[in-house]
Structure 1
């Protein structure tokens, strides 16, 4: 059994007053606070969350694709530059740029980060969101383009004299050489439950990320069969909003306060022990990567790192011992 990996999702559109787009509010007693405007902004806040994730021994962070948020590739580049061990996952959609440019940008990020960048490709956007991004493809064409996007990106990454002629992209005698060559291609994360989404993952994904409401067992079996037919294997991840406290009563009370204040409730609410047990159950069903969502991000990242992750250390080893017995 593979040891689960844990990621914190970064709030790229802000995380309350500290993570907003303007300067931080001035506290009532600012004895040792720098009051100059513009000295603390959203990227400082994101950097602090990523630093908290590294200190708290998370494996990585996710900068999700969010049209109203900061650009994920910029955020991940900054995070990787400022941290030594974290992986960073950049979410974007295939209409962001040509696959050659996306690959070149990512090759440079890999070079200065020691190959710690992953891609989360968002294919099936809401139609209004897609059009606002200048993307007017619909239906299966979105997945056909994503297939070509990943094929071309991998092609120019691994071959010096690469030519491709497709419906959406063309390359003539391209490919990386010199300083861009030699780095690891970003791990590809995909999602979705449609036939097209599962087929795309079977061809290209290193990790397929599900949501809490998905029929996990059926989808894992389906995708595993599709990937095996192509001689591949795909790992499985889970998007997991979480609110954990010392006991379930405290967690429920906090969830109630947040709901009353207009914040959406977390998906998994309970004690640290109960949350760890739920995560173990998902790990038993094949999930090896958990993308935790918790707000406010700095405080919750430390809290989860100090109180939850230690309960999950050695999950794989303990299960192997149980099976051996």
Structure 2
């Protein structure tokens, strides 16, 4: 089996803290919320870097700080960590996005990855001036990615599509290396775009058998396009790991106790209006109730009660979480985008607990191993 890659998450979506409801996704920040400042996010980025994470995902949306600006600043307070920048094709032109990628790679030393988010909510898209419907957004995204990839090869691009048009477009600064494209989506329209353009197909944390079915679906679509480059698969999920299973589930129970029933009703009502097929699948896993949230051994759906997007968490001892990661790997997942509450401490729980276990199994290697110095033992002479 190939080595796994692990990425972390930068909580620019309203704050971070010791509760699921400490800010972001329309939930009011609590008194203990940590702001999405350069100071705090820099701590998270450096902790992720030190613990062996390859990159950090920065989200996009009306409730987030801008991902491009934030990660550009954080690249200056970190050294190796790559940034998986989420952005929406509907709010930036393909030429400008291609140009920004070239600039980012040049000034950061090649530390950019791109998470292309088509946008699942029409009301939010309209805030950005985008009035296309969901299917049209995916059509436009396919055109966008075709233009961007052609620009990255140094081609002079003339393109006239259904949604986008450029003439005589040519980049002066080509990104080196080319940023890999991460892409997710559970609808037929999303699958078609992913199969043709994605380097990594991302899905949220459903049980392994459901993830296996998605992987088979995308592989079949990708084969039908005749693409030559392989497609990899990643999982976006939260994690709660501790020294023992009892400690981990006690932490999950603590997080659940901090979620108000009224907040569940309010957030669930909003999420049920989502146009996202992936969001519909997340809602089906938690059922809108605090009961029966372990939907697969060591997979917990409590986060999704008050959070849009990724709504499940790997929960258990370090060994149990490593076992579940190995299950996902066996069905084809090679990359994991993780987060925790709080994100700073979570990097250490996972980095010092689960990653060494996966290393012992030959499934992971630290991208920048620490130099081991012999310990000095005093008073032995």
TM-score if structure 2 supplies the norm length? 0.73
Task: Pick closer, same or farther for the CA change 1:98–1:315 going to 2, 3 Å.
Answer: farther
- Deviation for aligned residue 1:293: 1.5
Spell out the pairing of 1:34-73 with structure 2 (5 A cutoff): 42-73=37-68
Distance 1:140 1:314 in 2: 45
The SS at the match of 1:136 is: coil
Distance 1:311 1:175 in 2: 47
CA contact (8 A) 2:11 2:36 kept: no
Q: Identify the residue that residue 234 of structure 2 maps to in structure 1.
A: 237
RMSD, matched Cα: 2.3
Task: Pick closer, same or farther for the CA change 1:316–1:116 going to 2, 3 Å.
Answer: same
CA contact (8 A) 2:53 2:81 kept: yes
Task: Pick closer, same or farther for the CA change 1:285–1:315 going to 2, 3 Å.
Answer: farther
Spell out the pairing of 1:191-210 with structure 2 (5 A cutoff): 191-210=184-203
Cα displacement string for residues 128-150 of structure 1 (whole angstroms, at most 9, x for unaligned residues): 22222322111321111001111
Distance 1:95 1:210 in 2: 21
Distance 1:315 1:165 in 2: 51
Does 1:118 find its partner at 2:113?
Answer: yes
Task: Pick closer, same or farther for the CA change 1:197–1:41 going to 2, 3 Å.
Answer: closer
Cα displacement string for residues 20-53 of structure 1 (whole angstroms, at most 9, x for unaligned residues): 89xxx99xxxxxxxxxxxxx97121111100000
CA contact (8 A) 2:90 2:130 kept: yes
The SS at the match of 2:17 is: coil
Q: Identify the residue that residue 310 of structure 1 maps to in structure 2.
A: 356
Task: Pick closer, same or farther for the CA change 1:41–1:172 going to 2, 3 Å.
Answer: closer
Task: Pick closer, same or farther for the CA change 1:314–1:152 going to 2, 3 Å.
Answer: farther
CA contact (8 A) 1:3 1:314 kept: no
Distance 1:228 1:240 in 2: 27
Q: Identify the residue that residue 30 of structure 1 maps to in structure 2.
A: none
Q: Identify the residue that residue 321 of structure 1 maps to in structure 2.
A: none
Q: Identify the residue that residue 129 of structure 2 maps to in structure 1.
A: 134
Q: Identify the residue that residue 3 of structure 2 maps to in structure 1.
A: 3
Distance 1:231 1:141 in 2: 23
Q: Identify the residue that residue 287 of structure 2 maps to in structure 1.
A: none
Spell out the pairing of 1:114-263 with structure 2 (5 A cutoff): 114-177=109-172, 180-181=173-174, 183-213=176-206, 215-229=210-224, 230-232=226-228, 233-262=230-259
Distance 2:350 2:36 in 1: 24
CA contact (8 A) 1:48 1:298 kept: yes
Q: Identify the residue that residue 272 of structure 1 maps to in structure 2.
A: 318
- How many residues matched? 299
Task: Pick closer, same or farther for the CA change 1:182–1:253 going to 2, 3 Å.
Answer: closer
CA contact (8 A) 1:67 1:129 kept: yes
Q: Identify the residue that residue 89 of structure 1 maps to in structure 2.
A: 84
- Deviation for aligned residue 1:284: 1.1
Task: Pick closer, same or farther for the CA change 1:199–1:316 going to 2, 3 Å.
Answer: farther
Distance 1:76 1:308 in 2: 26
- Deviation for aligned residue 1:315: 4.5
- Deviation for aligned residue 1:92: 1.2
CA contact (8 A) 1:272 1:308 kept: yes
Larger deviation: 100-109 or 220-229? 220-229
Task: Pick closer, same or farther for the CA change 1:227–1:316 going to 2, 3 Å.
Answer: farther
Give the ranges of 4+ consecutive aligned residues of structure 1 lying more than 4 Å apart after TM superposition. 314-318
